[in-house]
Amino acid sequence: MNPTRDDLLKAMPESGLFAGKEWLTSPEPFPIPAPLMAEMNKLGHRLHVFQKACNDLYYRSLKGKAPPWIAEYLDAGKPPELLDAARAKPLRNTLSGVIRPDLILTESGFALTEIDSVPGGIGLTAWLGRTYAALHPGKMPVGGADGMIEGFRSLFPHGGDVVISQESAGYRPEMEWLAAQCGPSFAVRDAEHYQPRDGRDVYRFFELFDLPQIPGWQALQQAAADGKLTLSAPVKPWLEEKLWLALFWIRPLRALWRQELRENQRDALAKIIPSGWVVDPAPLPHHAVLPGLDINAWDELAGFSQKERQLVLKRSGFHEDAWGSRSVVIGHDVSQPEWTDSVRLAQESFAESPWWCLRRRKQRKTFIALIISG
């Protein structure tokens, strides 16, 4: 007898996985063709290498070994005390242990629209993997039934605290479930009242724009810099900017990307990263245009027809509207006035909270992958 939706719901933890949320469920796991699966299995390493390259480019920009405007873009709107703490020398090479690429399944493969260094959904993905494996013994999920749980546990061999903010409280049930599966050495704590303890590693589940509500964050960052604990994701606001996907395509940076990434890595990323642009309102020379958009100024984008608006606008990061879909504007799905207002807002916000624009690829399905990087 085939599993039903009720079978799936019966396996749901009593406390749920997301506070106050419901979603459509399927008794069948989403099928992934073998060639696509092979590419997805390579994706974790490729994106880890890409994030390392982004981190290196940022520091090179700070030191004048790469264009200074790279760091200027990425530092826009961040308070000096955050940047000073984030640049602690002992933490220069640290990267997030968990990344979530948001993938859109296209007719030719998939497109990468975001890399989230502080992702929600870890517990949900772990629960789905275990549940689908139990309901469909012959259809093993990606990573195995307990791959997500084992991966998360491996990041903190001696256990740790999942420190979650009120802003992210909707994800607390899934993280409590995950912590329970990882064992008694794991716990979920309130970020607003958290004080670090030597040797007690921490998974950061709070956004950096929310730091004014978290008085203990500097003590936590200092403890990580002093080597007293492991903090993941590291406090590195530049790595949480979506602008990197636009910077990947900027022609003047090609030589730098060649230095940071091997040719096969660049080619693989170019296949999945859609064309993108930083919405920088700085004037261009009269004879110049933005490549791929063929416009001399962003105001011209506001006049695009619905057919021409196969584009998406979104805040890059460090803003309460930058996470989830809060700031997403899909060009062909909104009215002309709404599109015009969004283009104007993106330009006006540049100095404090840059936006980026990406070319929308024709999609079949949207799905999210969570990757544990070792």
Say what the pTM is: 0.93
Count of CB atoms situated within 10 Å of the CB of 103: 22
pLDDT of amino acid 373: 44
Pairing verdict, β 276-278 and 355-359? antiparallel
**Per-residue pLDDT tens for 328-356?**
999 999 999 999 999 999 999 999 999 99
pLDDT tier, 171 (very low <50, low <70, confident <90, very high otherwise):
very high
Assess whether pLDDT exceeds 80 at residue 209. yes
β-pair partners for 105: 110, 365
Assess whether pLDDT exceeds 70 at residue 366. no
pLDDT of amino acid 32: 83
Show the beta-strand stretches assigned E in the chain: 98-106, 109-116, 160-164, 186-190, 201-205, 231-232, 276-278, 311-315, 329-330, 355-359, 363-368, 371-372
Assess whether pLDDT exceeds 80 at residue 322. no
pLDDT tier, 371 (very low <50, low <70, confident <90, very high otherwise):
very low
pLDDT of amino acid 374: 41
Mean pLDDT, rounded, for 79-97:
97
Mean pLDDT, rounded, for 195-200:
96
Biggest CA–CA distance in the chain, Å, is 68
Count of CB atoms situated within 10 Å of the CB of 330: 16
Distance CA 317, CA 243 (A): 8
Q: DSSP for 29-63? A: PPP--HHHHHHHHHHHHHHHHHHHHHHHHHHHHHT
pLDDT of amino acid 365: 57
At residue 356, φ and ψ (nearest 5 deg) are -135, 160
pLDDT tier, 364 (very low <50, low <70, confident <90, very high otherwise):
low
Delimit the domains of the chain by residue range: 30-117+241-373, 120-232
**Per-residue pLDDT tens for 265-315?**
999 999 999 999 999 999 999 999 999 999 999 999 999 999 999 999 999
Mean pLDDT, rounded, for 43-52:
95
Mean pLDDT of the chain: 92
The side-by-side arrangement of strands in the sheet containing 201-205 is 186-190, 160-164, 201-205, 231-232
Among 41-45, 187-191, 310-314, 360-364, the range scoring the smallest mean pLDDT is: 360-364
pLDDT of amino acid 368: 52
Q: What percent of the chain has pLDDT over 70?
A: 97
Mean pLDDT, rounded, for 166-188:
96
